[in-house]
Amino acid sequence: MRSISIVWNRARGLTALSLALGMLGVTAATPRVAGPGLAEQNPQLNQEQKNEQEEHGSAHWAGTVKITPLGSHAGEFCRNDRALLLEDPTGVRALWDPGQTVDETDARLGMIHVIVLSSVHPDHIGDVKPNPAAPGTCAAPGTISAAPNSNTAAIAAAKNAAVFAGGEMAAFLGRKILNIRGVTTPGCSAAGLTNELVVPLASPCTGSLRPGGSRTVRLTGANAGVKIANIPAYHSNGIPQSLLDAPGVAPGTTGYGGNDGGAIIKFTNGLTVYLTADTGLAGDMDTIVRQFYRPNLVVINMGDIFSLGPDEAAFAINRLLRPRTVIPSHINEAATTGGAVTGARLKRFLDQVNESRTNVVIPLSGVTREFDGRGRCVNCS
């Protein structure tokens, strides 16, 4: 009988199917999902990815970008997890959305050069912080108040970090950092054509970043920097009452925070990451994000109700963005147990992702993954 190749990417029933097909001379491929590990890298590239290889094959520099999730429970992907630490090969270290799982005392942070904040909603700016005396569970992490200044402001003040945020968030955070340090927070410099900021800084600064604009962060002595651009996110952005200074606002209302926003981060090795932030489906994901910025790694928020649900997130990845790799985020459930996928929302997303095109890397807290310039995880085996 002629051998037939069948791509089968779902873990359920794989062993039984492999045995049955083996009797017929049929082979089955293994799943390409990274929980504790990622299976072999994608052998089947779509035409766009092949073109990208040919066009940019010589344009990628050496080194890998290290991405470390900083969640509430080590080795797991949990309800409150938002924060990601991204480190460029040159040494620039960027913290995305500190949220409720990281505060200024967290030993996992190390040096932080820049914080990129998508919104001032409590779970992104950080209105509460981890409670070491009662850590809670992956589904319900233990927390204590971080009011009135927030985890984001406290980390920026402690680490002398730049804070980039859209709308009026930068000015708001500048005041929060002033409350902590007692001195005015300056605006971040934006020198030359690329709006460059050289780090490390001697004191924190804040910088607005609006749609269509970008800033570059370069480490002292490095020849190239990390470019950060703002992408609109379809989401509200009210400042919670717990973080508002007097006189506050009327009961039941929030403060004005301006636009919510995702980010495009272009690293010096060629990796381009699109962090969606909280958003719904938008044609911009295809026409602007994919066609202009061409991200090869996407971090997609998919907690449902307040952002993309698993069905919408899978559609965005399969049809609109088509990256080489996706990292699900903002899951709003205990998505793993012992590092293995157990959450219903995450399972539904994985069942729909077109794995012949896109690899999935599960963000387990404290587990550092490394990505080359084409968006491939090089230590996910």
Percent with pLDDT over 70 in the chain: 84
Looking at the DSSP bridge assignments, the partners of residue 165 are 117, 208
Please give the residue that has the higher pLDDT: either 18 or 379: 379
In three-state secondary structure terms, 180 is helix
* Cα 62 to Cα 52: distance, rounded to the nearest angstrom: 17
Instruction: Give the per-residue pLDDT at 60.
Output: 57
Mean pLDDT of 365-370: 98
Give the DSSP per-residue string, 299-310. Answer: EEE--SSSS--H
Instruction: Give the per-residue pLDDT at 237.
Output: 77
pLDDT in tens, 323-337: 999 999 999 999 999
Please give the residue that has the higher pLDDT: either 235 or 88: 88
Q: Does position 49 have pLDDT exceeding 90, yes or no?
A: no
Tokens of 203: 């004191």
Mean pLDDT of 271-297: 97
Tokens of 80: 């409150």
Instruction: Give the per-residue pLDDT at 373.
Output: 97
Mean pLDDT of 33-59: 46
Q: Cβ contacts of residue 13 below 8 Å, gap of 6+?
A: none
Q: Does position 189 have pLDDT exceeding 80, yes or no?
A: yes
pLDDT in tens, 243-270: 888 899 899 999 888 787 899 999 999 9
* Cα 21 to Cα 27: distance, rounded to the nearest angstrom: 6
Q: Does position 218 have pLDDT exceeding 60, yes or no?
A: yes
Instruction: Give the per-residue pLDDT at 112.
Output: 98
Q: How confident is the model at residue 7 (pLDDT cuts 50, 70, 90)?
A: very low
Q: Dihedral (C-alpha) 329, 330, 333, 337: value to the nearest 10 degrees?
A: 30
Q: How confident is the model at residue 48 (pLDDT cuts 50, 70, 90)?
A: low
pLDDT in tens, 154-166: 999 999 999 999 8
Q: Cβ contacts of residue 365 below 8 Å, gap of 6+?
A: 69, 70, 71, 72, 73, 74, 75, 76, 77, 78, 81, 101
Q: How confident is the model at residue 241 (pLDDT cuts 50, 70, 90)?
A: confident
Q: Does position 27 have pLDDT exceeding 70, yes or no?
A: no
Q: How confident is the model at residue 34 (pLDDT cuts 50, 70, 90)?
A: low
Q: Does position 20 have pLDDT exceeding 90, yes or no?
A: no
Percent with pLDDT over 90 in the chain: 74
* Cα 199 to Cα 116: distance, rounded to the nearest angstrom: 15
Instruction: Give the per-residue pLDDT at 3.
Output: 29
Mean pLDDT of 54-66: 67
Residue in the block written with tokens 């907690």: 303
pTM (2 d.p.): 0.86
pLDDT in tens, 223-240: 999 999 999 988 777 888
Q: How confident is the model at residue 39 (pLDDT cuts 50, 70, 90)?
A: very low
Q: Work out the mean pLDDT of the chain and round it to a whole number.
A: 87
Instruction: Give the per-residue pLDDT at 33.
Output: 55
Mean pLDDT of 95-122: 97
